[in-house]
Structure 1
């Protein structure tokens, strides 16, 4: 765990230090939307800002240059290899981190928009976002392994987070369909 903190502690500290700015951004955005006659200014502003703030630190970590390079296209093969060769703490960090990458997006996307209030929509959006990140890792030659397993685990984490927020999902208005 010490190794993980040494590698990513600065990202965690920066994310925590940004909380007041994130809250202020949500309040200002909600105020602007309310003035503009938005039907749900507070809910959508809080969801938009929290999705960005909850995803950005993970993207920072993922897009930081590493010390490996490659492509893993066989589903679950990379995950099985990691679990077999990493110590339990390393496996927990690897799998847990991948589950959390798009958790904020998955949890709040259906809260934000009735059009995206389904597990299928959350899975489609997060799988697309995760695939984009993996392609960026490869295309930018960041020294990271671009893996289909990361897309699978990232998407699973987002769907599980969506399930956790299901009671707060945006409801369709009868007059809007």
Structure 2
């Protein structure tokens, strides 16, 4: 099934297989980062290392998949700026298609939404995560259209991607606080 370079790197199936195969390497990188950052007398650095690797490992494959050229079809290269129009069409397409499409869009920036606030104090706000999820999604949708990838660039994807980041941030909220024994990093006062 995966016999050529294109099969491995240019198809969704290939990206999924590579992502699964990369899991041990991602875990090794998180371990190595935590070990490298270990400071005697300080709490372990595994939390930051895991969050950093989680952001990359959980976001890059989704971006890779949605920036692959599409095989084409009736919607080739279409842009839709009418909110909820494409989402209603997806829902009308049947439960399996709708579920795959919506869950897939919710997961695009979910790793960023989950791990970002754990790693970076400046991201410990659901509105910030929603804003950054929307900004990242706008960039991706713009790239899909500008690069002529024969994909639908839709405001609905932006909305669902941002909601996915926000929901994931809410799920991780209990881990946002500073670990016991660590000194909180304070942002400089704005004048």
1:15 touches 1:57 (CA, 8 Å); kept in 2?
Answer: yes
Larger Rg: 2
Match of 1:59 among 63, 72, 81: 63
Q: Whole-Å Cα distance in 2 between the matches of residues 113 and 142 of structure 1?
A: 33
- 1:46 corresponds, among 40, 50, 55, to 50
Structure 1 runs not aligned, ≥5 long: 1-6
Alignment of 1:115-154 (within 5 A): 115-154=122-161
Correspondence 1:102 to 2:109? yes
Would the alpha carbon gap of residues 125 and 12 (structure 1) be closer, same or farther in structure 2, given more than 3 Å must change?
Answer: same
How far apart, in 1, do the equivalents of 2:46 and 2:27 lie?
Answer: 12
Gaps of 5+ in 2: 1-10
* SS of 2:37 mapped into structure 1: helix
Q: Secondary structure at the match of 2:38?
A: helix
RMSD of the TM alignment (CA)? 2.3
| Alignment partners' CA distance in 1, 2:63 and 2:185 | 38
**Which has the larger share of helix?**
1
Equivalences for residues 24-103 of structure 1 within 5 A: 24-34=28-38, 41-66=45-70, 67=72, 68-84=76-92, 86-103=93-110
Q: In the alignment, does 2:183 pair up with 1:176?
A: no
Residues 1:12 and 2:16 aligned together:
yes
The TM-score normalised by the length of structure 1 is: 0.87
Structure 1 Cα separation of the partners of residues 156 and 68 of structure 2: 19
Q: Secondary structure at the match of 1:18?
A: helix
CA apart distance, 1:28:
1.6
SS of 1:83's equivalent?
helix
**Preserved contact between residue 113 and residue 170 of structure 1 (Cα < 8 Å):** no
Following superposition, the deviation at residue 40 of structure 1 comes to 6.6
